[in-house]
C-alpha cells in the first residue's frame, strides 16, 4: 500500500508540456495527448503474420500497421502464458514482482497499473475482451470482459459487473463493443482502450464466413514438424503438446458429428483399470464435453453451416485413421490445425481493419498510438507442437507493431531486444507522465522515435521465468536469458537440466550445446549475465522460492 501511494505521487502530470510539445512538433496551441489503443490477441504468433514473412496466411490490416508504423523483430515476453503476460503488460513488472506467476493466481488489482495512471491523469479508459486475471478490472471507466477463457460463439461477458451473453462471433462482438465505447466517449479528452481478443486461442473456431476458406490450401510444414527431441533434455521430451499425440480429435480438430456427440457415454466408456486407458477415456470425455458446450452456443443456422463445413474433414479422417502411419497422421493433423488457426486469424485481421477504418472516419487514427501484440507467441507445428509456455523462440517471442505517425516513422523496423513490460512505461511516458521508478520495463519511446536505431545503453539480454507446472501440457518450470546470439535455460523442480543454444547457427533450437567444450566461454558469460539480470530484477532465488500451485485450478 505504501508503495502504491508513493507511486501515485511519483506519477505526476508534470512532464506533459515538454514531452508533448516535442511529440506534437512544438506547435503553439496546447498539445493534445495521444489516445492509446492496445490491440492484443491470444496466442497469435509472428509466424502467422504476413508482415513478419509468414507464408501461412495473409494479414493485410496488420501489415498496414507495420507499413505505417514500426515492427519490432525481437520483442519477448517474460513468461509465455496468458494471465502472467497480461499482468506484466499492465504493471510493467516481471511475474515475481506483480505476483501473477501462473494462470491459477488472482491478480492483485490494488497494485499500480498503467491504465490506472492514465485514468488518474484524465484519460477515459476501457478494457474490452479477454482479461483472464481472475479479479475485477480496476482503473477503467468501462469494462466488458470475457469470463475466463471466453467462448467463440455467443460469448458471455461481464460488463461493469453485470453478466450478459452477446450473440454473434467473439472477435466481431469485441470490436462492436470497442467502437461503441469510442462512439460514447467524450471527444475532448484522450482515451486509452485495451482491445483484447480471445482469438486465436485453442480450440480455434472460425467465424461462419471463414469456414472452409482454406480447404484447398496446403500449408508449408516447418522443417522440424517431426522432431524426435534428440539433442535436447527431458523438458522437451516429456511435454504434452504434440500435435500427433496430444491434440484432441473432437475439441481441437472438430472430428465428431452431432449424432456422435449425443452418444457421449458410449464413446467414452471404459471398463479397463489400466491407468493409460483411463487417462485416454478422461481426455476423450473432456474433449467431447468441451466441444459440445462450444458447439451448442451456435444458433441452428450456424450449426448447419458448421456441420456442412466439417463433414468432408470427418470423412477424410475416417478413411485415413486406421491405415495411416504415425508421421502421416501428424502431417494431416497439422494441416487441419493450420486451416482453423489461420481462418481464426482472418477474423482478427478483418476486425483490426474495421477498427482502423472507424478511427480514420472519426479523425482519430493519427492521434492514436496503436499497438498490436499477442500475450505470447505460439508453436505452429515447430518441434511437432502446438501451445506455448517454453522459452523456445516461437513462443518467447511475441509480435509487436506500433503505429503513431506523429512520432513513429512509417515502415521502420527495430531489432532492439524489447519486452512486453516495456509497454506500460512507454504509454505512461508518451502520455506525458513521469515513469514510476518501480516499473521494471524501459520505455520504448527512444526506439520508436529514432527510426529504428537502438539506444547505446539498451538491454543486452532478456529474462524469462515460467512457473506453471505440473499443469496443462506438462512444460517444466524454467528460467533463463536470451541475448542477441544465445539462449541459456535452466529447467528445475522435478529436473535439474541446463540448455544452451546458439541462436545464430541454430535458430530453431535443435542442439543443446551446454556441454560442448567449444561453448565453455559463452556458457560462463551467459551464466554471469543471467545472475546479473536476476539481481537486477529481484528474482534471486528462482528455484527455492516457496511455490504453492493449483490453489485455483478452476481458473486455468
Ligand atoms: C486452456 C487450454 C490449454 C492452454 C491453456 C492456457 N486448454 O486450458 O491448451 O494451454 O488454456 O492458455 S483447453 O482445453 O481449455 O483449450 S492461455 O493462453 O490462457 O494461457
Ligand atoms: Ca495465450
Query: For 71-123, how does the pLDDT look when each residue is reduced to its tens digit (9 = 90+)?
Result: 999 999 999 999 999 999 999 999 999 999 999 999 999 999 999 999 999 99
Strands 497-502 and 486-491: antiparallel
499-549 pLDDT per residue, tens:
999 999 999 999 999 999 999 999 999 999 999 999 999 999 999 755 565
Q: Over 50: is that where the pLDDT of 10 sits? A: no
CA gap 321, 184 in Å, rounded: 53
Q: 202 CA to middle of ligand 1, Å?
A: 7
Is the C-beta atom of 287 inside 6 A of ligand 1? no
* Main-chain dihedrals φ then ψ at residue 128, nearest 5 degrees: -130, 120
pLDDT tens sequence across 298-349: 999 999 999 999 999 999 999 999 999 999 999 999 999 999 999 999 999 9
Strand, helix or coil at 471? coil
Which residue owns the Cα nearest ligand 1 atom 16? Answer: 202
Instruction: Verify whether ligand 1 is closer than 6 Å to residue 13 (CB atom).
Output: no
Instruction: Reply yes or no on whether the pLDDT at 59 is more than 90.
Output: yes
Residue 8 has pLDDT above 60, yes or no: no
CA–CA distance, 128 with 144 (Å, rounded to integer): 5
CA-CA distance, 379 to 227, in Å (whole number)? 13
Ligand 1: centre distance to CA 81 (Å): 9
Q: Determine which residue's CA is closest to atom 2 belonging to ligand 1.
A: 202
> Of all protein residues, whose CA lies closest to atom 11 belonging to ligand 1?
556
What pLDDT, on a 0 to 100 scale, did the predictor assign at position 313?
98
Q: State whether the beta carbon of 201 lies less than 6 angstroms from ligand 1.
A: yes
For residues 369 and 37, is the Cβ–Cβ distance under 8 A?
Answer: yes
Q: Is 81 in the pocket of ligand 1 (CB under 6 A)?
A: yes
User: Where do the domains of the chain lie, and which CATH numbers do they carry?
Assistant: 239-338 (no CATH), 464-555 (3.30.1120.10)
Report pLDDT digits (tens) over 137-190. 999 999 999 999 999 999 999 999 999 999 999 999 999 999 999 999 999 999
User: Can you give the pTM of this predicted structure?
Assistant: 0.93
The H-or-E segment that residue 29 falls in is none
The confidence score (pLDDT) of residue 21 equals 41
Among the ranges given (20-24, 297-301, 354-358, 378-382), the one the predictor scored with the smallest mean pLDDT: 20-24
Q: How confident is the model at residue 22 (pLDDT cuts 50, 70, 90)?
A: very low
Nearest CA to ligand 1 atom 8: 556
Cell matching residue 468: 506453471
Ligand nearest to the CA of 43: 2
Q: Are 113 and 424 in contact (CB under 8 A)?
A: yes
Amino acid at each position: 500500500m505504501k508503495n502504491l501511494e508513493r507511486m501515485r505521487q511519483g506519477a505526476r502530470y508534470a512532464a506533459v508540456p515538454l514531452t508533448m510539445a516535442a511529440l506534437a512538433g512544438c506547435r503553439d496551441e496546447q498539445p493534445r495527448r495521444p489516445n492509446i489503443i492496445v490491440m492484443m490477441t491470444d496466442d497469435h504468433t509472428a509466424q502467422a503474420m504476413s508482415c513478419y514473412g509468414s507464408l501461412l496466411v495473409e494479414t493485410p490490416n496488420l501489415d498496414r500497421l507495420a507499413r505505417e508504423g514500426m515492427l519490432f523483430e525481437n520483442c519477448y515476453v517474460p513468461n509465455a502464458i496468458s494471465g502472467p503476460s497480461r499482468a506484466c503488460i499492465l504493471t510493467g513488472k516481471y511475474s515475481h514482482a506483480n505476483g501473477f506467476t501462473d494462470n491459477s493466481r488472482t491478480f492483485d488489482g490494488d497494485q499500480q497499473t498503467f491504465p490506472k495512471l492514465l485514468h488518474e491523469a484524465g484519460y477515459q479508459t476501457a478494457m474490452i475482451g479477454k482479461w483472464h486475471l481472475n479479479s475485477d478490472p480496476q482503473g477503467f471507466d468501462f469494462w466488458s470482459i470475457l469470463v475466463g477463457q471466453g467462448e467463440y460463439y455467443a460469448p458471455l461477458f461481464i460488463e461493469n459487473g453485470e453478466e450478459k451473453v452477446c450473440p454473434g462471433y467473439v472477435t466481431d462482438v469485441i470490436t462492436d463493443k470497442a467502437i461503441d465505447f469510442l462512439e460514447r466517449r467524450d471527444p475532448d479528452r484522450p482515451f486509452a482502450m485495451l482491445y483484447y481478443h480471445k482469438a486465436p486461442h485453442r480450440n480455434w473456431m472460425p467465424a461462419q464466413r471463414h469456414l472452409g476458406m482454406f480447404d484447398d490450401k496446403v500449408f508449408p510444414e516447418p522443417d522440424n514438424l517431426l522432431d524426435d527431441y534428440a539433442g535436447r533434455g527431458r523438458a522437451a521430451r516429456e511435454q504434452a503438446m504434440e500435435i500427433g499425440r496430444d491434440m484432441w480429435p473432437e475439441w481441437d480438430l472438430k472430428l465428431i458429428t452431432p449424432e456422435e456427440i449425443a452418444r457421449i457415454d458410449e464413446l467414452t466408456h471404459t471398463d479397463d483399470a489400466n491407468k493409460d486407458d483411463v487417462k485416454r477415456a478422461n481426455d476423450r470425455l473432456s474433449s467431447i464435453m468441451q466441444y459440445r458446450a462450444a458447439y451448442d452456443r451456435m444458433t441452428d443456422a450456424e450449426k448447419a453451416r458448421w456441420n456442412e463445413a466439417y463433414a468432408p474433414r470427418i470423412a477424410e479422417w475416417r478413411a485415413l485413421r486406421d491405415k495411416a502411419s504415425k508421421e502421416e497422421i501428424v502431417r494431416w493433423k497439422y494441416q487441419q490445425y493450420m486451416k482453423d488457426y489461420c481462418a481464426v486469424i482472418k477474423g482478427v485481421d478483418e476486425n483490426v481493419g474495421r477498427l482502423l477504418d472507424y478511427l480514420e472516419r472519426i479523425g482519430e487514427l493519427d492521434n492514436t498510438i496503436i499497438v498490436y501484440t499477442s500475450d505470447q507467441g505460439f508453436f505452429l507445428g515447430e518441434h511437432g507442437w502446438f501451445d506455448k509456455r517454453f522459452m523456445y523462440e516461437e513462443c518467447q517471442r511475441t509480435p509487436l507493431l506500433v503505429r503513431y505517425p506523429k512520432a513513429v516513422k512509417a515502415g521502420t523496423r527495430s531489432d532492439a531486444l524489447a519486452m512486453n513490460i516495456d509497454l506500460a512505461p512507454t504509454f505512461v511516458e508518451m502520455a506525458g507522465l513521469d515513469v514510476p521508478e518501480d516499473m521494471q520495463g524501459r520505455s520504448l519511446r527512444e526506439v520508436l522515435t529514432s527510426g529504428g536505431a537502438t539506444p547505446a545503453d539498451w538491454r543486452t539480454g532478456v529474462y524469462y521465468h515460467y512457473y506453471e507446472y505440473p499443469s496443462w501440457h506438462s512444460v517444466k518450470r524454467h528460467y533463463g536469458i536470451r541475448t542477441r546470439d544465445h539462449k541459456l535455460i535452466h529447467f528445475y523442480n522435478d529436473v535439474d537440466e541446463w540448455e544452451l543454444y546458439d541462436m545464430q547457427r541454430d535458430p530453431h533450437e535443435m542442439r543443446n550445446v551446454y556441454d560442448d567444450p567449444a561453448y565453455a566461454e559463452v556458457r560462463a558469460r551467459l551464466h554471469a549475465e543471467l545472475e546479473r539480470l536476476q539481481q537486477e530484477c529481484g528474482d534471486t532465488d528462482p528455484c527455492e522460492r516457496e511455490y504453492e500451485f493449483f490453489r485455483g485450478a478452476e481458473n486455468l
